[in-house]
Amino acid sequence: MAAAGVNFIDIYQREGLYPMPLPYTPGLEGAGIVRSVGSGVTDFSPGDRVAWTGHLGSYAEVVALPAEKAVRVPEGLSLETAAGMMLQGLTAHYLVTSVCEIKPGDRALVHAAAGGVGLLLCQMISARGGQVIGTVSTDAKADAALAAGASHIIRYDREEVDSRVKEITDGRGVSVVYDGVGRDTFEASLRSLAPRGVLALFGQSSGPVESFDPQILNQLGSLVLTRPSLAHFTQTPEELRWRAGDVLSALAEGSLEFTLHGIYPLEDAQKAHQDLAARVTSGKLLLVM
Ligand SMILES: NC(=O)c1ccc[n+]([C@@H]2O[C@H](COP(=O)([O-])OP(=O)(O)OC[C@H]3O[C@@H](n4cnc5c(N)ncnc54)[C@H](OP(=O)(O)O)[C@@H]3O)[C@@H](O)[C@H]2O)c1
């Protein structure tokens, strides 16, 4: 193992929001060098540089994983960058290609736009000709989201999100909201959508969304709500390789940027979780062995 990525899901699992069989080793992405392969494995050999996501146990010095979860790391890309891009990078990729395919002129609201997934969404949406309205909680995060391609910023700690979105879009609303914040943003997300808009509720960093009456989707304009997971968008090795190939090659070519918040030694994994939960990070947190 060269490095493992830290993700918000690691916190949900540790806290029990997503129940886990105990004991378990956390960590759903990483990269390293193949030490040995099983007898039926023909795609990889010892010495290959690989990265993966979707297999638990990356907070470790050595991992064993199914070969179909691994992808090759292109020449010129560091193992640390590859480790940090698998889960968040592939998530941003499926959100803009498959959940709601972004086309030129589309307007998207991205919550926590300076977070790990948020910075990647800003880049991928603007690269496809879409316009990003990003929400953030500090001025430094506003600068980071603007640098990643957001054209408007809403300080959701002090501004009313849906009324600002309506102002920015001349009263119409956005065609898609990417919401990984959950409880605190859910209602404003729905109210920010244009008729027939899509709310991709892909996380809950502020807590789970409370029960609601689906009639509100009708009242606000025949809205579509989905609650997607990366696992369902990387169901086959072919789909995983397509998404990882797009993301890792864009990084290697320089058309996609990796923003590193910080590198923590494995023994400081607790501190990494505390920083991520405390909203003080922007970009990726990595654990090195
Ligand atoms: N469904 C999937 O396939 C999938 C895959 C990957 C990630 N996710 C989800 O995507 C979201 C982002 O993940 P990430 O790893 O990239 O994290 P992140 O966005 O880097 O960190 C979370 C951010 O959420 C914002 N936030 C708002 N209210 C918060 C609160 N009460 N506590 C903590 N943070 C709060 C903060 O940004 P501000 O300070 O700007 O508010 C914080 O920096 C998470 O919900 C995660 O579960 C889902």
For 137-188, what is each residue's pLDDT tens digit? 999 999 999 999 999 999 999 999 999 999 999 999 999 999 999 999 999 9
Question: Ligand 1 centroid vs 245 CA: distance in angstroms?
Answer: 24
Are 114 and 219 members of one domain? yes
Query: Does residue 264 share a domain with residue 191?
Result: no
Q: Quote the tokens at residue 114.
A: 């300076």
Amino acid, res. 167: E
User: Could you tell me where the beta strands, DSSP code E, fall in 119-166?
Assistant: 131-136, 152-155
The Cα–Cα gap between 258 and 157 comes to 26
Q: Are residue 133 and residue 222 in the same domain, yes or no? A: yes
d(CA 143, CA 15): 31
Q: Give, in order, the Cα–Cα distances in Å from 37 to each of 33, 54, 58, 119.
A: 11, 19, 17, 35
The verdict on 57 and 169 lying in the same domain is: no
Q: How far is the CA of 222 from the centre of ligand 1 (A)?
A: 27
44 and 116, same domain (yes or no): no
The domain spanning residue 223 has which CATH number? 3.40.50.720
Residue closest by Cα to atom 42 of ligand 1 = 279
The last residue of a domain, from among 196, 227, 258: 227
For residue 156, tell me if it sits in a domain.
yes
Domain count, the chain: 2
What are the residues whose beta carbons fall under 8 Å from the beta carbon of 164, sequence distance 6 or more? 154
State the closest ligand 1 atom to the C-alpha of 94, by its place in the atom list counted from 1: 3
Query: For the domain that residue 54 is a member of, what is the CATH number?
Result: 3.90.180.10
Largest interatomic CA distance in the chain? 61
Q: Which of 165, 127, 178, 169 is nearest to 148 (CA)?
A: 127
Q: Tell me, yes or no, whether 62 and 25 share the same domain.
A: yes
Pair 168, 147: CB distance under 8 Å = no
What order of strands is seen across the sheet that includes strand 174-179?
Answer: 152-155, 131-136, 107-110, 174-179, 193-201, 224-226
The overall pTM is greater than 0.75: yes
| Closest residue to atom 20 of ligand 1, CA basis | 115
- 3-class secondary-structure state, position 166: helix
Q: Rounded to an integer, what distance in angstroms lies between the CA atom of residue 96 and that of residue 228?
A: 12
Task: Please indicate, yes or no, whether residues 269 and 171 belong to a single structural domain of this protein.
Answer: no
Q: Which of 177, 197, 227 is the last residue of a domain?
A: 227
Verify that 150 and 180 share a domain, yes or no: yes
Distance 70 CA to ligand 1 centre (A): 25
> Are 199 and 259 found together in one domain?
no
Residue 93 in domain? no
Number of H-type helices and E-type strands within the chain? 9, 12
Instruction: Please state whether the peptide bond connecting residue 265 to the residue before it is cis, i.e. omega within 30 degrees of 0.
Output: no
pLDDT in tens, the chain (289 residues): 999 999 999 999 999 999 999 999 999 999 999 999 999 999 999 999 999 999 999 999 999 999 999 999 999 999 999 999 999 999 999 999 999 999 999 999 999 999 999 999 999 999 999 999 999 999 999 999 999 999 999 999 999 999 999 999 999 999 999 999 999 999 999 999 999 999 999 999 999 999 999 999 999 999 999 999 999 999 999 999 999 999 999 999 999 999 999 999 999 999 999 999 999 999 999 999 9
Is residue 62 located within the same domain as residue 128? Answer: no
Ligand 1 mutation pick, 205, 273, 275, max ligand atoms within 8 A of CB: 205
Residue 91 counted as domain residue: no
Distance 180 CA to ligand 1 centre (A): 5
Q: Pocket around ligand 1: residues whose beta carbon is below 6 Å from it?
A: 7-9, 87-88, 91, 112, 114-118, 136-137, 141, 180-181, 184, 202-206, 228-230, 276-277, 279, 281
Task: Kindly state whether residue 78 falls inside one of the protein's structural domains.
Answer: yes
* Cα separations in angstroms, 41 against 33, 36, 44, 63, 68: 15, 10, 7, 16, 9
Helix (H, G, I), strand (E, B) or coil at 175: strand
Whether residues 173 and 63 share a domain: the answer is: no
Distance 46 CA to ligand 1 centre (A): 36
Residue 151's domain comprises 103-227
DSSP three-state, residue 109: strand
In a shared domain, residues 187 and 250:
no
